[in-house]
Amino acid sequence: MSDEPVSDDPMSDDALTGDPAAAGVAMDDPYWSIHCVDVHKRLGGVAILDGVTLDVPDDTITIVLGPSGTGKSVLIKHLIGLMFPDSGDILIHGDSVPRLPLPQLLALRRRIGVLFQDGALFGSMNIYDNVAFPLRQNTERSESEIADVVKQRLADVGLTAFEGLFPSELSGGMRKRAGFARALCTEPDIVIFDEPDSGLDPVRTALLCELIQEMHATYGGTYIVVTHDIAAARRIGEYIAVLWKGRIVQSGAAAEMFASENPFVRQFLSGSASGPLGMD
Ligand SMILES: Nc1ncnc2c1ncn2[C@@H]1O[C@H](COP(=O)(O)OP(=O)(O)OP(=O)(O)O)[C@@H](O)[C@H]1O
Ligand SMILES: [Mg+2]
């Protein structure tokens, strides 16, 4: 959250900095739960992440905004150790994700709830069993203890009456909510949403955003919502990072970002056709 003026050139080093040191924040400041430090990743010979430096504040809803195909899902995979960087580092609560031995990586993943872009529910299981799955898989809890949690989470997301249905019998919005219930059932301290709004109409997107806000207010935690929906960012974002061409253009508190002088950020957040961002 820098008061430094940003460069007029949206892709200059100054404009692209997400460097907390530049913002006067120490790297080990406990306020940040996640640090991405100069993360590079090439896929199929193309630089997808091209020096991502991003700090995610604790106990806050952070929005990572970026156009389609810009590397948002790839970034999420790095956060949870499903992909590893060619260079750079990802630190979660001080642990380097790419350097964690497998047992610790699996333990870390259990502390992170993820709502994948497509919901990623098991088609062969009903909604109750989908939500119960991480608890059955990762905990020693009895079925009656699991039932208490599953029923609470299904009530939270308004799916109590639908627990016996299969994913194919639900609407897209209901599948997202079921995925959300599943992501929350292990009481994760970090919850990551990959485009929760994709495939939903504006009303259902608004309702889902409301639900994300409510769940965050109830259970707390570090929420990261990845999206290209500026309206969603405006509605629920407390901290916003703009990702473009594999780098973070700027990040900061929502009010600061919506008042940004950076021409790319301004154009992107206002959804304007005029500015440095073209169709390329
Ligand atoms: N496993 C992979 N191998 C090769 N290329 C990949 C792989 N995964 C992703 N990519 C490429 O990386 C780029 C970024 O993909 P990614 O899925 O992260 O985009 P995104 O920002 O999430 O887009 P969307 O908003 O459409 O979900 C795309 O060009 C994609 O084709
Ligand atoms: Mg994606």
- Is residue 277, in this structure, part of any structural domain at all? no
All residues at 6 or more sequence positions from 178 whose CB lies less than 8 Å from its CB, including other chains? 119, 121, 127, 130, 131, 157, 159, 162, 167, 170
Count how many Cα atoms sit within 13 Å of the Cα of residue 254 in the half-sphere of its side chain: 16
- Is residue 261, in this structure, part of any structural domain at all? yes
Nearest atom within ligand 1 for CA of residue 66: 21
Q: What is the largest CA-CA distance in the chain?
A: 59
* Residues lying with their CB under 5 A of ligand 2, a single-atom ion: 72-73
What is the 194 CA–ligand 2 centroid distance (Å)?
6
* Average predicted confidence (pLDDT) for the chain: 83
Q: What percent of the chain has pLDDT over 90?
A: 44
- Is residue 3, in this structure, part of any structural domain at all? no
The phi and psi torsions of 217 (rounded to 5 degrees) equal: -65, -35
Residue written as token pair 């292990």: 186
Q: CATH number for the domain including 69?
A: 3.40.50.300
Cβ–ligand 1 contact at 247 (below 6 Å): no
For residues 113-126, one letter each, b for 16 or more C-beta atoms within 10 angstroms of the residue's C-beta and e for the rest, the string is bbbbbebebeeeeb
Cβ–ligand 1 contact at 68 (below 6 Å): yes
- Is residue 9, in this structure, part of any structural domain at all? no
**Per residue in 153-178, pLDDT tens?**
898 888 899 999 999 898 888 888 89
- Is residue 123, in this structure, part of any structural domain at all? yes
In this structure, of 13-27, 69-83, 260-274, the range with the lowest mean pLDDT score is: 13-27
Q: Can you count the helices (H) and strands (E) in the chain?
A: 10, 10
The phi and psi torsions of 123 (rounded to 5 degrees) equal: -65, -25
1 vs 143, which has greater pLDDT?
Answer: 143
**Per residue in 222-242, pLDDT tens?**
999 998 888 888 889 999 999
- Is residue 95, in this structure, part of any structural domain at all? no
Residue nearest to atom 29 of ligand 1 (CA): 69
- Is residue 14, in this structure, part of any structural domain at all? no
Domain range for 162: 59-73+112-270
**Per residue in 259-277, pLDDT tens?**
988 888 888 888 766 666 6
Residue length, the chain? 280
Residue nearest to atom 23 of ligand 1 (CA): 69
Domain count, the chain: 1
Q: How confident is the model at residue 55 (pLDDT cuts 50, 70, 90)?
A: very high
- Is residue 40, in this structure, part of any structural domain at all? no
Cβ–ligand 1 contact at 182 (below 6 Å): no
Q: How confident is the model at residue 26 (pLDDT cuts 50, 70, 90)?
A: very low
Q: Are residues 188 and 112 in contact, defined by beta-carbon separation less than 8 angstroms?
A: yes
The phi and psi torsions of 241 (rounded to 5 degrees) equal: -125, 135
All residues at 6 or more sequence positions from 190 whose CB lies less than 8 Å from its CB, including other chains? 33, 34, 92, 111, 112, 113, 221, 222, 223, 224
Q: Is 45 helix (H, G, I), strand (E, B) or coil?
A: coil
Nearest atom within ligand 1 for CA of residue 70: 21
